[in-house]
Amino acid sequence: MLDITVIWKTLGRLATRVPYTITIAFVSILISTALAILLSMIKIKKVKIASALVELYLSFFRSTPGLIHILLVYYGLPLVLKPFGIILDASGKDLYSIAALSLSYAANLSEILRPAYLSIDKGQHEAALCAGLSGFQKEYRIILPQVIPIALPAMGNAFIELIKDTSILFVIGLTDIMGSAKNIITNGLGINKVEIYIAAGLIYLVITTVGNWGNHFLEIKCQKVKKHQ
Amino acid sequence: MLEIKNVHKAFGDNQVLKGVSLKVEKGDVVAILGPSGSGKTTFLRSINFLEKADKGEIIFDDIQADLAHATKKTISLIRKKTGFVFQNYNLFNNKTALENVTEGLIIARKIPKKEAIEIGKRALDKVGLSDRYDYYPSQLSGGQQQRVGIARAIAANPDVILFDEPTSALDPELIGEVLQVMKELAKEGTTMVVVTHEMGFAQNVANHVVFMEGGIVVEEGTPKEIFSHPKEERTKQFLRRVVGYEDYSI
């Protein structure tokens, strides 16, 4: 039989790790979005050499599992940076986590942003230029306001996936929700495993449910804006 | 005022323009006619660099530039001196009718917002849309959208307005309202270059008609010269075809 009191007690303990987990997810969302904008711009503008590198980056990160990205970043990044005189130790696990999630999701997000951008009619660009707008003004005032409502719902879904993916960061020893669930199990010598995983699952359920509500609300908003467009 | 010389342009192997020239004086209404594929739209688009010509020269008042190698600054200068009306209107979908007109005024020309709104409203009044300021393009008919497009082009008071088949995408019953607006602009002395299939407009409103085919200007002159006494066999053939079509439609 399941021990409900263990689930209840564990929920309380794991809930204290929620702010930390959300912070890691949130910072990763910001960085991956910024990186995705850069990546998709390089591909859209067909920047020489850079776009070939971006292509390589995308095909690697989009066709390998997130777990590999995390392990490669954790073990690989110090090796890559060492020749440049930057010595990383293994303690900043949150930084490795953010780096891994950002690199991984930038690839996904850029493949949402790029088609959304390309779906805007060429005539919108031309009309903006004819009105005398500069390239930057054109993007900022005319094109992006039309791209965002197209891209946002899919991006929201990706953000929710990212939050769920924080649960594999325990492999490098991050004490987020999943990591501390693991710790509780180890400290308890492996008893009540099921109850503890259920508690962890419930916490993720609450977070993603809130996220889905938010996304649903966003989708309705975007639909309203798109109706004009 | 505006002179474009010897424009060449190829898309891949397809030589679309083979040395087209045009001279426009202030107050001119130039109609460019020709069968589809004759290069007339490409020529018009190359004037304000929507299409980059392979070769050619533009002289616009005191600006002189190579169409193939103009600097960003020159392109921007020439674009600010021209208005452009598109076949598919191309109104900014995320902006209301009024915002469509004021966008270029406020952002590109740095006119104070309040003043720009005044100018924008006047431009929309002029095309008969004083009750549609706050409508989005999706809420307007094709004819209304095109009239906003014209208001957007005239608002900044450019030296010349380029029209790229402004009525070709419209339902037949909406063509009249757009042509009416264009006729009024012509009457006020607006300088216009119009690529069109509207023979009536070319004949009655334009003061200079250019007939293009196969990437060259076959013949040009006053409407009377072109419509009543065409010299070239190809012009005659074209007119027989389009006029024949019109007879049939009536």
Residue tagged 């706050």 (tokens): B134
| C-alpha gyration radius of chain A | 21
Residues forming a β-bridge with B64: B59
- What pLDDT score was predicted for residue B14? 92
> Considering CB atoms only, which of B48, B103, B152 is closest to A141?
B103
Which of B103, B111, B139, B164 is most worth mutating to test chain A (most A CB atoms within 10 A of its CB)? B103
b/e map B132-163, b = 16+ CB within 10 Å: bbebbbeebebbbbbbbbbbbbbbbebbbbbb
Domains of chain A, each with CATH number or no CATH = 4-227 (1.10.3720.10)
pLDDT value of residue B241:
84
Extract the residue ranges of chain A whose pLDDT is less than 50. none
Return all residues near B84 (Cβ < 8 A) that are at least 6 apart. Answer: A126, A127, A130, B48, B50, B153, B161, B162, B164
Host H or E run for residue A61: helix A50-62
Write out the two tokens for A91.
């303690």
Residue with tokens 């042509």: B179
Angstroms from A220 CA to nearest CA on chain B: 17
Phi, psi of B214 (to 5 degrees): 60, 30
Q: What is the pLDDT along chain B (250 residues), one digit of tens a residue?
A: 999 999 999 999 999 999 999 999 999 999 999 998 899 999 999 999 999 999 999 999 999 999 999 999 999 999 999 999 999 999 999 999 999 999 999 999 999 999 999 999 999 999 999 999 999 999 999 999 999 999 999 998 999 999 999 999 888 888 989 999 999 999 999 999 999 999 989 998 999 999 999 999 999 999 999 988 889 999 998 988 887 644 444 3
Q: Classify each residue of B207-233 as buried b or exposed e, where b means 16 or more C-beta atoms within 10 Å of its C-beta.
A: ebbbbbbebebbbbbebeebbeebeee
What is residue A171's predicted lDDT score, i.e. its pLDDT? 87
Inspect the interface and report whether the beta carbons of B104 and A124 lie closer than 8 Å.
no
Chain A residues 16-55 with CB within 8 Å of chain B: none
Predicted local confidence at residue B250, as pLDDT: 39
CB within 8 Å: B91 and A133? no
- Residues in a beta bridge with A140: none
Nearest CB to B50: which of A126, A141, A146?
A126
Q: Which of A124, A129, A225 sits opposite B92 (nearest CB)?
A: A124
CA distance B76 to chain A (A): 7
What letter does residue B27 receive in the DSSP assignment? T
Helical residues (DSSP H) of chain B, grouped into ranges? 40-47, 72-81, 97-103, 113-126, 142-155, 172-187, 199-204, 223-228, 233-249
The burial of B110, by beta-carbon neighbours within 10 Å (0-12 exposed, 13-18 middle, 19 or more buried), is given as exposed
Confidence (pLDDT) at B247: 47
CB-based contact B108 A121, cutoff 8 Å: no
- The answer to whether the Cβ–Cβ distance between B84 and A130 falls below 8 Å is yes
* Whether A132 and B156 lie within 8 Å, measured CB to CB: yes
Interface residues of chain B, partner chain A, Cβ below 8 Å: 48, 50, 76, 79-80, 82-84, 86, 88, 90-95, 103-104, 107-109, 136-139, 152-153, 156
As a whole number of Å, the end-to-end CA separation of chain B is 40
pLDDT of residue A90: 66
Instruction: Show residues of chain A in contact with B108, CB under 8 Å.
Output: 131-134, 137
Contact B79 A227 (CB under 8 A): no
pLDDT given for residue B249 in this prediction: 42
